[in-house]
């Protein structure tokens, strides 16, 4: 294979701007699939992707295309569109030399367009600005070109126009890829080194990896080693993904290939596969930035007997979705489970949906929370916290205030593109969410780009939905991590008749203490059924009660309402009641339905 004939690229865009549709057209024109509806969105393979219409996993496809009598190997790496999966975007982009930046000619530049553009710039990638959906009667290519000019200083003459749906302009796009995107600049004569950008599990062949070969060559039967453990492996499987596997004997630097070392061969995203002679040097130690988890939640089996099934399913899914972090967790109410770190809320939803659909595992989720950080006074004062700074993913593990020198919470830079008439409403929403405005810029006469520094905790739960509803769906939102900022935080506990309920402890901003205390106690009053005794609900922080509610005593006997005769009905009701009790957590003899712990923190 001639490296100068390889082009590695991906398609980046705001959600719904047409990535998957374009990928299908590219597969058709290069003869990989036959035109026709039944093949729609070939790269969106997961069931959840089809149902939600979003792309979750980055998938690759290798295409052959002949141009000026030369055959080129075009490696398309499809990327997910949603902000939660920007991690997957970063990974795919690391194997590319260029991107097609799609913009809907009807909608224009959206918040995520801004994010993917800056990502491509940061990685020194060639950007092919491409307007899609020019077939739509309302498409306004000239205006969108002007937006690209004013926001990114893109020359309007370099912007392509296509219709992925109608197949217009696809040939020109492929030729532009060949002309504008450089071939990978690699050295195929030195030792073999490949960077793993994706992994998945195969029942018979073990872990299969998608790797970008940085240097050297590889072939079936070759002895290799992992950078992480240097144990020797034999290359057993090697294939191009078109996107179905096409086995090959060997591959060279610049190529994106599927590689597997058999059932015990291993492989993990971010790791490197090396020739057995490979010697570590500075160049080979460059890796993709580590994943940052933005949201944590507990996952528990619906029934403890399902623990092994769920354990197996989570392990397999975590291998395929390397963006999650998994640690064991347990709760008096929910039993043994796991605490899982996610990139965002959609990521969390997609993960649990995949657990259900692909592994038939039934799981209970606790309310999500963001990670906090504290600087502990005098290192090693507290045994379990070695070092100055501690990340807190579980509010119960927050050290006592007297040991804490500084609290931090995660912040993001939020980008919002909105019609000008909603600037006031959007600004009010962001200020209400403790946002600090940054300079804004005009997109065109109708649209403005606003930016705010926002606490992540105020964004993760329902910010996006609220933004959509106050702007009639016209505003778009994306965020980039801005690291931890100092912030006055306190731990808030919930007591029932004086006893602490572990699961309901939260960390809140001091300015939100009154509000959170009231909201939580009111919601608990609604959710906890009346008991035989009176129940006092208290929200306590810094030794002070911030809110209090009372549930009056009530003798619950569902059978009392029934007239005496129907014995079977009566028995059935008693049995139901007994089963209901099993799903209760008991604190100070107060029975709390299990759902309470999951629903109470939602707004
Ligand atoms: P993705 O989220 O970027 O992968 O977007 P999709 O490829 O799923 O497309 C989103 C929607 O736009 C789908 O309903 C497509 O049929 C539609 N679409 C994509 N390209 C075009 C186009 O060129 N013209 C028109 N009219 N619709 C398109
Ligand atoms: Mg898609």
* Strand 295-301 relative to strand 335-342, pairing: antiparallel
The residue contributing the CA closest to ligand 1 atom 22 is 133
This prediction has a pTM of 0.75
Average pLDDT over residues 116-133: 91
Average pLDDT over residues 485-511: 92
Report the separation in Å between the CA atom of 53 and the middle of ligand 2, taken as the mean of its atom positions.
Answer: 6
309 burial type by CB count under 10 A (0-12 exposed, 13-18 middle, 19+ buried): middle
| Ligand closest in space to the Cα of 45 | 2
| Ligand closest in space to the Cα of 138 | 1
Structure tokens at 306: 């399902």
**Least trusted range by pLDDT, from 175-179, 215-219, 283-287, 296-300:** 283-287
Helix ranges restricted to H, 220-344: 307-320
* Strand 476-486 relative to strand 389-392, pairing: unpaired
How confident is the model at residue 58, as a pLDDT?
Answer: 45
Q: Between vectors from CA 61 to CA 224 and to CA 18, what angle results, nearest 5°?
A: 140
* Preceding omega of 143 cis (within 30 degrees of 0): no
Report the residue among 10, 11, 16 best suited for mutation to probe ligand 1: largest number of ligand atoms under 8 A from its CB: 16
Report the separation in Å between the CA atom of 56 and the middle of ligand 2, taken as the mean of its atom positions.
Answer: 8
Residues with CB under 6 A from ligand 1: 13, 15-21, 53, 55, 81, 132-133, 135-136, 163-165
Whole-number mean pLDDT of the chain?
83
Residue 348 half-sphere exposure, CB side, CA atoms within 13 Å? 24
Residue 435 has pLDDT above 70, yes or no: yes
Report the residue among 138, 162, 164, 476 best suited for mutation to probe ligand 1: largest number of ligand atoms under 8 A from its CB: 164
The residue contributing the CA closest to ligand 1 atom 14 is 16
**Least trusted range by pLDDT, from 154-168, 471-485, 564-578:** 564-578
Q: What is the C-alpha to C-alpha distance for residues 505 and 394, in angstroms, rounded to an integer?
A: 9
Q: What is the C-alpha to C-alpha distance for residues 259 and 275, in angstroms, rounded to an integer?
A: 13
Comparison of pLDDT for 282 and 336, the residue scoring more: 336
Contact present, 129 and 43 (Cβ < 8 Å): no
Report the separation in Å between the CA atom of 489 and the middle of ligand 2, taken as the mean of its atom positions.
Answer: 39
Residues with Cβ within 8 Å of residue 587, at least 6 apart in sequence: 496, 499, 501
Q: What is the C-alpha to C-alpha distance for residues 131 and 127, in angstroms, rounded to an integer?
A: 13
- The predicted-structure confidence for 540-552, as pLDDT tens digits, reads as follows 999 999 999 999 8
The residue contributing the CA closest to ligand 1 atom 2 is 16
Residue 53 has pLDDT above 50, yes or no: no
Comparison of pLDDT for 36 and 235, the residue scoring more: 235
Structure tokens at 589: 């003899």
**Least trusted range by pLDDT, from 56-65, 91-100, 182-191, 224-233:** 56-65
- The predicted-structure confidence for 560-595, as pLDDT tens digits, reads as follows 555 555 666 666 666 655 555 455 667 777 777 766
Q: What is the C-alpha to C-alpha distance for residues 226 and 253, in angstroms, rounded to an integer?
A: 17
**Nearest-atom index, ligand 1, CA of 162:** 23
């Amino acid at each position: 294979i001639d490296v100068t004939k390889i082009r590695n690229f991906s398609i980046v865009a705001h959600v719904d701007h047409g990535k998957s549709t374009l990928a299908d057209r590219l597969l058709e024109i290069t003869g990989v699939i036959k035109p026709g509806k039944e093949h729609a969105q070939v790269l969106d393979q997961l069931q959840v992707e089809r149902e939600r219409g979003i792309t979750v996993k980055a998938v690759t496809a290798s295409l052959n295309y002949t141009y000026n009598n030369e055959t080129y190997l075009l490696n398309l790496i499809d990327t997910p569109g949603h902000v939660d999966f920007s991690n997957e975007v970063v990974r795919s982009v690391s194997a590319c030399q260029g991107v097609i930046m799609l913009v809907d000619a009807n909608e224009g530049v959206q918040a995520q367009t801004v994010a993917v553009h800056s990502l491509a710039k940061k990685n020194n990638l060639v950007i092919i600005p491409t307007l899609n959906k020019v077939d739509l009667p309302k498409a306004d290519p000239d205006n969108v070109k002007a937006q690209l000019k004013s926001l990114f200083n893109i020359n309007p003459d370099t912007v392509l126009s296509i219709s992925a749906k109608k197949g217009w302009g696809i040939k020109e796009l492929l030729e532009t890829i060949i002309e504008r995107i450089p071939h990978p600049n690699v050295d195929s004569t030195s030792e073999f080194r490949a960077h793993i950008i994706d992994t998945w599990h195969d029942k018979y062949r073990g872990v299969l990896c998608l790797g970008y070969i940085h240097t050297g060559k590889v072939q079936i039967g070759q002895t290799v080693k992992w950078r992480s453990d240097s144990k020797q492996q034999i290359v057993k499987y090697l294939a191009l993904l078109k996107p179905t596997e096409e086995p090959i004997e060997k591959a060279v630097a610049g190529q994106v290939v599927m590689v597997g070392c058999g059932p015990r061969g291993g492989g993990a995203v971010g790791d490197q596969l090396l020739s057995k002679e490979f010697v570590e040097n500075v160049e080979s130690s460059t890796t993709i930035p580590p994943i940052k988890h933005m949201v944590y939640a507990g996952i528990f089996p619906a029934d403890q007997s399902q623990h092994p099934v769920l354990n197996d399913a989570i392990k397999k899914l975590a291998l395929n979705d390397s963006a999650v972090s998994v640690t064991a967790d347990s709760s008096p109410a929910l039993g043994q489970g796991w605490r899982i770190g996610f990139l965002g809320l959609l990521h969390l939803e997609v993960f649990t949906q995949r657990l259900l659909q692909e592994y038939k595992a039934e799981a209970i989720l606790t309310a999500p929370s963001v990670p906090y950080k504290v600087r502990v006074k005098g290192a090693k004062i507290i045994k379990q916290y070695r070092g100055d700074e501690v990340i807190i993913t579980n509010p119960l593990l927050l050290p006592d205030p007297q040991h804490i020198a500084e609290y931090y919470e995660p912040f993001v830079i939020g980008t919002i593109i909105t019609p000008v008439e909603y600037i006031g409403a959007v600004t009010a929403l962001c200020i209400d969410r403790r946002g600090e405005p940054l300079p804004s810029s005009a997109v065109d006469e109708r649209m403005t780009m606003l930016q705010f520094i926002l606490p992540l905790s105020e964004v993760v739960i329902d910010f996006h939905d609220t933004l959509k509803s106050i702007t009639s769906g016209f505003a778009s939102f994306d965020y980039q991590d801005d690291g931890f900022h100092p912030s006055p935080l306190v731990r808030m506990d919930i007591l029932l008749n004086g006893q602490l309920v572990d699961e309901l402890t939260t960390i809140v901003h001091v300015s939100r203490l009154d509000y959170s205390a009231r909201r939580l106690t009111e919601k608990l009053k609604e959710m906890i059924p009346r008991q035989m005794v009176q129940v006092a609900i208290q929200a306590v922080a810094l030794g002070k009660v911030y809110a209090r509610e009372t549930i009056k005593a009530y003798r619950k006997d569902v059978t009392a309402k029934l007239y005496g005769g129907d014995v079977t009905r009566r028995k059935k009701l008693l049995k139901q009641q007994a089963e209901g009790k099993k799903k209760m957590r008991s604190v100070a003899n107060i029975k709390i339905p299990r759902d309470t712990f999951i629903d109470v923190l939602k707004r």
